[in-house]
Structure 1
């Protein structure tokens, strides 16, 4: 890429934030300011740090509590950006910020599908066979602006959301790298984002990982894949204990004679589902600690 004199303000967090920030720097963009988040002590931080990149590269950064308010607006204006970018920043940008300069967001799906929060997790939960990354113009309405570029990635049958997120990170980097010269030159495409043909989903909470064993095995497996660690995990409560599935596969063995729920068969742990099929569980946590098939069998016998 050729060097440019374009200045940018970047709102960024998480691995996609790190990768896309590095693409801008490699593309010769003058990143005048980064707006990011302080890591939360209550969150499992398994991803890379945007702050660390800023410190390494000598980029000014700030960590406001929200994206509203005159202080942030004045700091962004003072940076005099030609462009603004949002890469997995967790707050919606209000209209007054979007009015400062043309703004673009990197979203973790093939828009208009899976607009909104946690797009990778929702795609896996719904059994999608592909997803990707989309760079689009930012509007006040979330994920609704014109599409600039997108890159698809496959979702394989046993991929967890974490597996897919790794692919989406690379897709985001490729998407931005390919379109950045045109974006800086003002020649990037603007494709319609046909919202009526897409879908929108809200954020997910740990409680959304509760397993309904009456569901078919594929649905339960999709739930496990969607929230498997490092996400909070699919869980079930039995006899006052909380069991979280760490690793599992769809079993080739049907168990129609057993009631739905956790079971131990031939020293193996299974999650029996409403259609008689089962998940073969290779790693199960009980109240946060690993539990063996023998230990689980004793507990289940006590609870029966």
Structure 2
């Protein structure tokens, strides 16, 4: 008899891991997901659509802790409960309804980067590696025993979105690799030593504000961590807002290194040199801005170096 599961899922990781369960012979009796928010940039796949294509019942409760939600999960008689990038913590009494365990896929190599948006935090902090972890769910977030992990590299110019694509594949691979053992009751359950890890909270669009007084590497890490499709790293000059959508750290010996020489001694911030945009940072190093967007009246338009110079010509610079 196929094992039965209730799946809480959202985003691309939710899509791919739900598909792994179906391909692996799991009877998914119920899918719990979120309604897409009209205020959010929905750039990822739809768990709801995948479930409906397979004829699986889908619910989108506002409160997964409600008595109605517990009754729905209980009625599904799950052997397993899975959470794949579902955005709410699940209560312990609900997890206990899964006779053979409740498991979550998290986008880091636990115990590092427990909590929210782990991929963005890893890029922001200049990490060179992250990954995906399948672990038991517990009362604390991302604190249960580790079942399996798959690492992925973070290359020096990777954006968080590019790393997230790798993490999505790592999540799929991790679940696919260990699912037979999980179904057979033979999967490992390794210690998740929280004292060796870290916990991070959520991030807001305002957290993308650039402090050019920081080092160029720190500024570049922020740009990479929140680059589109995330809200983006931004700076305000007067009443004008500019979003740095694409950039590169100017490295010694590069062509850009020669182009930024005229900027030596200028204050930190965005400047134009040789018809190109650069950001001078607190350590006197620079970032080449390949795409700068002007945010105005709720819209963003790409702005050229000449148009940038003209727009801010009358704005007092610090």
Aligned equivalents of 2:77, 2:171: Cα separation in 1: 26
Alignment counterpart, residue 278 of structure 1, candidates 281, 286, 289: 286
For residues 32 and 60 of structure 1, the distance between their equivalents in structure 2, rounded to whole angstroms, comes to 7
Superposition RMSD on alpha carbons, in Å?
A: 0.9
The corresponding residue for 2:309 is: 297
1:151-209 Cα offsets, whole Å, 9 max, x none, are: 00000000000000000000000000000000001100011101101110000000000
Alignment of 1:266 with 2:266, yes or no, is no
Alignment pair present for 1:182 and 2:194: no
After superposition, the C-alpha distances for 1:269-300 in whole angstroms (9 at most, x for unaligned) are 11110011111001101111111100111233
Matched, 1:88 2:96: no
Cα distance in 1 between the residues matched to 2:135 and 2:3: 19
Deviations 1:200-252 (A, max 9, x none): 00000000000000000000000000000000000000020110011100123
CA distance in 2, matches of 1:259, 1:181: 59
Point out where structure 1 has 5 or more consecutive residues left out of the alignment: none
Equivalent position of 1:214 in the other structure? 213
Aligned to 1:146: 145
- CA distance in 2: counterparts of 1:109 and 1:150, whole angstroms: 9
Alignment counterpart, residue 31 of structure 2, candidates 17, 28, 34: 34
For 2:241 and 2:123, the matched residues in 1 are separated by 24
**Per-residue CA distance 1:37-76 (angstroms, 9 max, x = gap):** 1111100000000011011100111000021110000000
Report the TM-score, using the length of structure 2 for normalisation.
Answer: 0.93
1:256–1:277 contact (8 Å) kept in structure 2: no
Structure 2 counterpart of 1:165: 164
What is the count of residue pairs matched by the alignment? 301
- Secondary structure of the 1:124 match is helix
C-alpha distance in 2 between matches for 1:66 and 1:91: 9
2:61 is matched with which residue? 64
* Runs of at least 5 residues in structure 2 that lack an aligned partner in the other structure: 252-256
Per the TM alignment, residue 301 of structure 1 is displaced from its structure 2 partner at its CA by 2.5
Of 270-279 and 77-86, the range deviating more from structure 2 = 270-279
CA distance in 1 between counterparts of 2:89 and 2:115 reads: 11
**TM-score by structure 1 length?**
0.98
